[in-house]
C-alpha cells in the first residue's frame, strides 16, 4: 500500500515555542490531507482538512491561528503548533488521500510533549 | 456528542474466546472502515464496507455493515494475543465530503 511518512515521531518542546510536524506522501500525490489529534486511551479527533494549494478547513473548536496547516505541494503538508502549552501535548496523526479518493493512508504519528 | 459510538469501550479476554465490537450511529454513512491501532503508531486499515448488509471476512475477523448503513460490527473468532490493540471504526457521512469520522474506540486485550 501507499506510504505516508510523518516527521518527527517524537518531539519535546518548551512552553511558548512553536513546533512543526511534517507529513509526506512518498509514492502518490496527496490531493487531500487530514490532521488528527489523539489523547491517551481515546480515539482520533479530526482537526482540519487541507487540499493542495488552498486554505485548510478546520473543525469546530480548533483554533486555526494556533494550529497552522500548510499544504503547498501534492506530497507535503505541515502542521505548526504555535506558542505551545502543556495542554497541547498529544499524539498528532496525519492521513492522505489521492485524487481518486480511495483509501486514506495514515502516518505513524508524532508524539508532542510540551514542558 | 460522538457521532460514532463503539461498545464495549474496554474488553479483556482469554486467548481462544470470541468477541464482538459494535459501532453505532444515528447517521447514515456512505462507507465505513475498521482500523486497528498499536500504541505509538498510526491506525492500520482492516476493511472497508460500502453496501448495506454487506459482510466481509478477513481470516478470523468478520465485519458487517448494517442494512441502513448506520451501524457496523466486528467479530473476532478464537482471539489471539496478537489481536490486542485499539479497534476503531470510522465512517464517511453521506454528503459529508471525504473526511473520516472516527468512533470512540474499543481497547482489546487478549491474554494467554
Q: A4 pLDDT exceeds 90?
A: yes
Lay out the sheet containing B61-65: strands in order across.
Answer: B5-7, B19-24, B71-76, B61-65, B55-58
Q: What is the pLDDT of residue B98?
A: 79
Which chain A residues are closer than 8 Å to B97 by Cβ? 49
CA B106 to chain centre: 8
Chain A residues 46-65 with CB within 8 Å of chain B: 46, 49
A109 contacts B40? CB cut-off 8 A: yes
Average pLDDT over residues A2-14: 94
pLDDT at residue A53 above 90? Answer: no
Point out the least confidently predicted range of A8-12, A50-54, B6-10: A50-54
pLDDT band, very low/low/confident/very high, at A52 (cuts 50, 70, 90): confident
Look at residue A101 and tell me whether its pLDDT is greater than 70.
no
pLDDT in tens, B95-108: 777 789 999 999 99
> What pLDDT score does B41 carry?
94
**Contact between A41 and B107 using a beta-carbon 8 Å cutoff:** yes
Predicted pLDDT at B3: 84
Q: CA B67 to CA B69: how far, in whole Å?
A: 5
CA distances from B53 to B50, B57, B63, B66, B99 (A): 9, 13, 10, 5, 23
| Residue B86 to residue B54: CA distance in whole angstroms | 23
Percent of chain A with pLDDT over 70: 97
Which of A72-76, A91-95, B68-72 comes out lowest in average pLDDT? A72-76
Q: Annotate B94-105 with three-state secondary structure.
A: CCCCCCCEECCC
| Out of A19-33, A96-110, B58-72, least confident range | A96-110
Nearest chain B alpha carbon to A108? B42
Q: What is the per-residue pLDDT across B45-104, written as a single tens digit (0 to 9) for each?
A: 999 999 999 999 999 999 999 999 999 999 999 999 999 999 999 999 877 777 899 999
B103/A43 CB distance under 8 A: yes
Q: Which residues of chain A neighbour B105 with C-beta distances below 8 Å?
A: 42-43
A109/B48 CB distance under 8 A: no
| pLDDT tens column, B5-48 | 999 999 999 999 999 999 999 999 999 999 999 999 999 999 99
Is the pLDDT confidence value at B2 over 70? Answer: no
Place of cell 469520522: B101
Interface membership of B39 toward A (CB under 8 Å)? no
pLDDT at A98: 82
Amino acid at each position: 500500500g501507499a506510504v505516508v511518512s510523518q516527521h518527527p515521531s517524537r518531539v519535546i518542546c518548551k512552553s511558548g515555542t512553536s513546533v512543526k510536524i511534517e507529513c509526506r506522501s512518498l509514492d502518490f500525490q496527496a490531493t487531500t490531507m487530514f490532521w488528527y489529534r489523539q489523547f491517551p486511551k481515546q480515539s482520533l479527533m479530526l482537526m482540519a482538512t487541507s487540499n493542495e494549494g488552498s486554505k485548510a478547513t478546520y473543525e469546530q473548536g480548533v483554533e486555526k491561528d494556533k494550529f497552522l496547516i500548510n499544504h503547498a505541494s501534492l506530497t507535503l503538508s505541515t502542521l505548526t503548533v504555535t506558542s505551545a502549552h502543556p495542554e497541547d501535548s498529544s499524539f498528532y496523526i496525519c492521513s492522505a488521500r489521492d485524487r481518486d479518493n480511495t483509501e486514506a493512508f495514515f502516518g505513524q504519528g508524532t508524539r508532542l510533549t510540551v514542558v | 456528542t460522538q457521532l460514532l459510538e463503539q461498545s464495549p469501550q474496554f474488553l479483556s479476554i482469554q486467548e481462544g474466546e470470541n468477541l464482538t465490537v459494535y459501532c453505532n450511529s444515528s447517521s447514515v454513512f456512505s462507507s465505513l472502515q475498521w482500523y486497528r491501532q498499536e500504541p505509538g503508531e498510526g491506525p492500520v486499515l482492516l476493511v472497508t464496507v460500502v453496501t448495506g448488509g454487506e459482510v466481509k471476512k478477513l481470516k478470523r475477523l468478520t465485519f458487517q455493515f448494517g442494512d441502513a448503513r448506520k451501524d457496523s460490527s466486528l467479530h473476532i473468532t478464537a482471539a489471539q494475543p496478537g489481536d490486542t490493540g485499539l479497534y476503531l471504526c470510522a465512517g464517511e457521512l453521506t454528503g459529508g465530503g471525504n473526511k473520516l469520522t472516527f468512533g470512540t474506540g474499543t481497547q482489546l486485550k487478549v491474554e494467554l
